[in-house]
Amino acid sequence: MKFIKILFLLACINIFGQTNVDNQLAAYNFPKIKSSITMPVTIPLSEINNMINASVKDLIYQDDSYTDNNNDQFKVKVWKTRAIRVVGGTNQNLLIEVPLKIWAEKGIGTLGVYTYQNTTFETVMSFNASLSFKNNWTIVTNTQPNGFKWVTKPVLDYGKVKIPITSLVEKSLKEQQEKFCKTLDQQMATQLNFQQYAMMAWNVFTQPFNISEEYNTWLKVTPININITPLKFYGNQIDTSIGIDVYSETFTGSKPDASQPIKTASNFNSVPVLADKFSLQTTANIPFTEASNIARKTFLNKEFDLKGSKVKITDIRVYGLDNKIIIEAETDGYVKGKAIISGVPVYDESKRKIVLSGTKFKLKTMNILQKTASVLFQGKIVKMIEEEYGIPTQELEETSRKSIEEAFNKEYYKGLNMRGKVFNLKPTNILLNPTGITAVIDINATLKLIVNGI
User: What is the DSSP secondary-structure string of 181-240?
Assistant: HHHHHHHHHHH--THHHHHHHHHGGGSPEEEETTTTEEEEEEEEEEEEPPPEE-SSEEEE
Give me the mean pLDDT over the 1-12 stretch.
36
CA 10/CA 427 separation, integer angstroms: 19
Strands 337-348 and 411-413: unpaired
Instruction: Quote the pLDDT of residue 154.
Output: 81
Structure confidence at residue 144 (pLDDT) = 94
Phi, psi at residue 413, to the nearest 5°? -140, 130
State residue 265 phi and psi, 5-degree precision: -90, 140
Query: What's the average model confidence in pLDDT over 111-118?
Result: 78
Name the least confident of 25-34, 53-62, 170-179: 25-34
Residue 140, pLDDT score? 86
Instruction: Identify which has the larger pLDDT, 144 or 330.
Output: 144
Q: Name the pLDDT band for 388 (thresholds 50, 70, 90).
A: low
Condensed to tens digits (0 to 9), the pLDDT of residues 129-171 reads 998 888 888 888 899 999 888 888 888 777 777 778 788 777 7
Name the band, by pLDDT with cuts 50, 70 and 90, for residue 97: very high
Percent residues over pLDDT 70 in the chain? 85
pLDDT tier for residue 99 given thresholds of 50, 70 and 90: very high
Q: At residue 128, does pLDDT exceed 90?
A: yes
Q: Is the pLDDT of residue 305 over 60?
A: yes
pLDDT band for position 335 (50/70/90)? confident
> Would you place residue 381 in the very low, low, confident or very high pLDDT band (cuts 50, 70, 90)?
low
Nearest to 341 by CA among 388, 297, 307, 298: 388
Q: What is the pLDDT of residue 21?
A: 37
Say whether pLDDT at 361 is over 60. yes
Asked if residue 18 has pLDDT above 50, the reply is no
Angstrom distance (rounded) from CA 44 to CA 52? 13
According to the model, what pLDDT value does residue 11 have? 33
**Is residue 43 within 8 Å of 63, Cβ to Cβ?**
no
Nearest to 224 by CA among 196, 262, 280: 262
| Structural domain boundaries in the chain | 46-191
Whether residue 17 is predicted with pLDDT greater than 80 in this model: the reply is no
pLDDT of residue 126: 93
243-252, 287-296, 348-357, 382-391: least confidently modelled range: 382-391
- 95 pLDDT band, cuts 50/70/90, is very high
**Contact between 231 and 270 (Cβ < 8 Å):** no
- The residues that bridge with 99 in the sheet, in sequence order, are 124
pLDDT tens digits, one per residue of 394-442: 777 888 888 888 888 888 777 677 888 998 888 888 888 888 878 888 8
